[in-house]
Structure 1
Amino acid sequence: MVLLNKRQNEIVAYLATENDWIAANRIAESFDISVSTLRRDIEVINESFIEQESQVISKPGLGLRFTIGSHFTGLHACSAGQRNEIFATKRLVGIVTDLLTQAPQPLSISTLSEKYFVSRSSIVEDLKKAESWLENFSLHMFRDHTGTYIKGDDLNIRVAMKEIIAHSFFSRHQIADSRIDRFSHTELVEQFGKVNVENCISLMSLIERDLSVAISEPYYTNLFSHLLVTIKRAVGLAAQSEIETFNRYMSREWTIAEKAVSWLEKEYNLSLPEIEVSYIYQYIISSGHHTLAKDPQTPLSPRSEADEYADKLISCCSHELGLNLRLDKKLHDGLALHIKPMLNRLAYGIAIHNPLLDEIKHEFLTAFSAVTRAVEKLVGCHATSTVSEDEIAYLTLYIQAALDKFSAKKKIIIVCSSGVGTSQLLASRINRAFPEWEIVDIVPGSQLDVTLAVKACDLIISTIKLEGMELPVAYVSALFSKKDIARISEKIIFNENMKEKDNAR
């Protein structure tokens, strides 16, 4: 059975509920995806439901419709789907949030039944789903005469609450760099209270002011979620963390974290354990677009761990992709800046949510697969924990941006001294390696100047030595091996670097 992701399960539920023909563009708009992405999802859905004799059928002029077969047993889900079942209804989200907020204090079924206006039997069924979901975070549900309650590590409780916030409120509306958009704001207020949400927004502004930066997504959402969880747990009179042994730092980030905790204590008239300072500090140094405070007395290593990780990642990806990306300084610098806080996140066990994960996996599968294999090789080298698909998807965007330099249309001239058959073989292999490129001509060296006088090109690929050329020249063998592809990629990247230097002057 093919497993469905969260969106694909939601598409099936949407179509099954409508039970009628629906235009493809209307469905795509509902899920904020392109029609082409919807078509790929439908292919996966149909393959998944083939054993149940159910499928999504398409008819021109009518749209899409889900037909239920005789062996249909209901909407099944993949492991990710089961994991995300908790987000299916607001009631389920509310019940789990209440239990996590109160943990380890109990809540009675009667209390939950009255709050959500449903029968006790409905609450019992919801609790079964909640129990299954909570096991993903090593949290356990117990029932006794006092009610139902959750037991587990405080950090795991926080992670579960952050998962709810990330997937229930922020993943529905992919609005670039919108901070807390109006849709998410309304739903957060409904679940966590207006005062708590507004206080989180205010505290985030204070932290950004002290850092002298604007924290970008997804780091803003990550820190915001942590602060909201901290407030909700503290105000809910949940048991406080008993961790007393942890590192303290003499840095600007630590001071800002201390100020944030003091602000919360004053605002809510309560006392928080000092470990809360450490938690906020970890999120701050795991966020992008800020400069860590450094001791001026300590000379910095010219090669940081992030630089080394970026180098190794690029090297591994180059090997996987058959292209040489090692000379791409822009790629290295961008990756190193991203990797620096990423290594902190891995060290502190801080997860980030990437709302574009499924899109990136579909649209940039080659790059995503290469980065995945590269990261797996680097786990042992850098003593890092397993890197999540969300993190891999962000790294993929940097690699894909570098690959786009090769896929961009280029006009090339091939200079070859061999016979017609060899030159045609060379042209064929270049076309296969770089399908977007246009071969404007294939000429012998003696005819190159004449050809350049009447035909424009971006790159010359030659099997013979050329003198006095102003255009970039990549030298290859007549048989065009993988090494030749690497040489061409080096020349393209070198040329891009030179252009950037000229533009910077």
Structure 2
Amino acid sequence: MKGDNQEKLINFLLNAHSFVDSNSLAKELNVSTKTIYRLVKRINDYYKEPLIISEKGKGYRIDDREYIEQHEIGQFHQNDLLSPIERRNMITKDLLLISPKSISLFNIVERYYISESVLNSDEKKIEEMLNQFNLVLERKNRHLSIKGGESDIRHALLELIGEGKLSNLSAYNGMDETEDRDSHFVQEQINTIENYKNIIIPYPYNVNIFSHLYILIMRFRKRGVINEDKSRETQELLKLKNEYQSFYRTSDMVIGNIEKYLHTQLPDNERIYLFEYLISSRFETQNYQEDMKYSNDVIEITNALIEGASGELNHSFKNADLEQQLLKHVKPMLNRIEHRLLVKNTLIEQIKIEYPIVFNVISNITNQISETYAIKKINQDEIGFLTLYFAKELERNPKKIKTLITCTTGIGTSELLKTKIDRNVPEIDIIDVKSSFDLTEEDLQKIDLIISTVHIPEVKTIPIVVISAMFNKNDQIKLRKMIEMLGDDNE
């Protein structure tokens, strides 16, 4: 729990871009202000220079330079400074890489400077984590090992290793010459795929394929050729191979390159693993036609997302550009869900902090989609990617405030005011211009705001901003403040 709160605190401060007081942080993390103080101290103890700066009367903020330096370089903390979560993740990663081989308890205790009682506690947490991947932690003859299917082991490795080390391997301090050479070789294979297919593999799919191939090589380096799982050559796969023949040829070519690089023959399943990743990725090119064929399920699920979000967020998302973007995303997403392929979303915590309402709405819609179309539950990483499409659309086309202009001095004055507001305040959508004497209940049901040149005491359900007919600088400031208040209420 402490490790989770540390991550939440760092993500929240990164997103704030300025000082945040301890009360606000305590409320956000649902902890006490004393806990915030302890979390900050614990985080800062990991770094040579404090990561979180505090100033009396202002609160806390992230030292951006220190954060970038530590995380872009890929610097790891010394083992004696690791948090319990970091330590358990590193132990699990080591065991996964050599699975089904084992590591002695003595080696683990000595490497991480912990007692056996602490290791016993770690084992329980590791077992809980492995359950979600259908993997088992086994202790035998004072050795630990992880047992399970090869695809499950790689899913767990993708989750644990994450993007940081795999996307910037040349900067990883602990990398030896062989690992550096491996990373360059894998990047060459990504280039080979793009050149052969005349496509561009965008983020995060390029990182996902890179991670998969790099983990394949890491596994070989640590424990040699891995025995095949049960063959993945199913009737469904045969249909996919027939539909995407060029992708299977690409997979065959790349795995053949890896076999030459490692001077060994790899199991046939390796070609199928890579093929599944390729057909579950999104590509960009004007000449690429295969991703333009959409099944009825892809079209219906895309429409369900657009219609559901439009209704829940009170914003029309029905436009051709967003529909095409979502179709291109949903098609490989369904392949990923079907083949249990993980695309790690490293921005997920920041997405949930910055777009909480949109994320929750998309999460609810995807739950309904899973039930309706009998597909596996869509995970948070995928929901985060979908959230970004709708968040971008909202930022590009923000909801306008439906406004009624009213004036007692005549419609001509109101029309003049309408022209000035149209020109200077794009956030306002003027629905109608009326005399204050002609307002009806029906008028009030259609609007979010009334702009008037006189006070209207009998209207209490709709916010009113009173300005002059000349719409001077003070009037503009007053209207801007009202728009900000209405925006805050809608968040």
* TM > 0.5: yes
Q: Which residue of 2 aligns with 1:47?
A: 30
Q: 1:413, 1:443 within 8 Å by CA — same for their partners in 2?
A: no
Structure 2, gaps ≥5 residues long: 41-53, 62-81, 435-440, 450-491
Q: Which residue of 2 aligns with 1:145?
A: 141
User: What is the DSSP-based 3-state SS (H/G/I as helix, E as strand, rest coil) of the residue aligned with 1:107?
Assistant: strand
Change (3 A) 1:34 1:190: farther
Q: CA deviation at 1:219?
A: 1.2
Of 422, 427, 430 in structure 2, the residue corresponding to residue 461 of structure 1 is: 430
Q: 2:404, 2:433 within 8 Å by CA — same for their partners in 1?
A: no
Of 225, 234, 248 in structure 1, the residue corresponding to residue 211 of structure 2 is: 225
Change (3 A) 1:191 1:165: farther
- CA distance, structure 2, for counterparts of residue 165 and residue 45 of structure 1: 28
Q: CA deviation at 1:386?
A: 0.8
Change (3 A) 1:219 1:460: closer
Q: What does residue range 13-412 of structure 1 map to in structure 2 within 5 Å?
A: 34-35=17-18, 42-44=25-27, 47-49=30-32, 60=56, 63=59, 88-89=86-87, 92-112=88-108, 116=111, 118=113, 121=116, 124-125=119-120, 127=123, 129-145=125-141, 147-166=143-162, 169=165, 180-181=167-168, 185-186=171-172, 189=175, 193-235=179-221, 236-237=223-224, 239-244=226-231, 245-246=233-234, 247-248=237-238, 249-250=241-242, 251-290=245-284, 304-326=296-318, 328-405=319-396, 407=398
TM-score (norm 1): 0.66
Q: 1:99, 1:149 within 8 Å by CA — same for their partners in 2?
A: yes
Q: CA deviation at 1:352?
A: 1.7
Q: 1:103, 1:239 within 8 Å by CA — same for their partners in 2?
A: no
Q: CA deviation at 1:60?
A: 2.3
Q: What's the Cα RMSD here? A: 4.3
Q: CA deviation at 1:45?
A: 6.8
- CA distance, structure 2, for counterparts of residue 331 and residue 37 of structure 1: 35
Q: CA deviation at 1:136?
A: 3.4
Q: CA deviation at 1:61?
A: 5.5
- CA distance, structure 2, for counterparts of residue 279 and residue 47 of structure 1: 42
Q: Which residue of 2 aligns with 1:479?
A: 444
User: What is the DSSP-based 3-state SS (H/G/I as helix, E as strand, rest coil) of the residue aligned with 1:339?
Assistant: helix
Give 1:366's aligned amino acid.
I
Q: CA deviation at 1:218?
A: 1.4
Deviations 1:354-379 (A, max 9, x none): 22212211211121121111111111
Q: 1:107, 1:147 within 8 Å by CA — same for their partners in 2?
A: yes
Q: Which residue of 1 aligns with 2:6?
A: 9
TM-score (norm 2): 0.67
Q: CA deviation at 1:40?
A: 8.5
Give 1:322's aligned amino acid.
N
Q: 2:279, 2:335 within 8 Å by CA — same for their partners in 1?
A: yes
Give 1:181's aligned amino acid.
N
Change (3 A) 1:443 1:254: farther
What percent identity do the matched residue pairs reach? Answer: 22
Change (3 A) 1:167 1:133: farther
Change (3 A) 1:482 1:238: farther
Deviations 1:100-133 (A, max 9, x none): 122112222345466x374774884555554443
- CA distance, structure 2, for counterparts of residue 284 and residue 111 of structure 1: 39
Change (3 A) 1:460 1:86: closer
User: What is the DSSP-based 3-state SS (H/G/I as helix, E as strand, rest coil) of the residue aligned with 1:380?
Assistant: helix
- CA distance, structure 1, for counterparts of residue 336 and residue 410 of structure 2: 54
User: What is the DSSP-based 3-state SS (H/G/I as helix, E as strand, rest coil) of the residue aligned with 1:149?
Assistant: strand
- CA distance, structure 2, for counterparts of residue 46 and residue 9 of structure 1: 10
Q: CA deviation at 1:454?
A: 5.9
How many residues are treated as equivalent by the alignment? Answer: 397
User: What is the DSSP-based 3-state SS (H/G/I as helix, E as strand, rest coil) of the residue aligned with 1:243?
Assistant: coil
- CA distance, structure 2, for counterparts of residue 111 and residue 146 of structure 1: 10
- CA distance, structure 1, for counterparts of residue 308 and residue 274 of structure 2: 34
Q: Which residue of 1 aligns with 2:69?
A: none
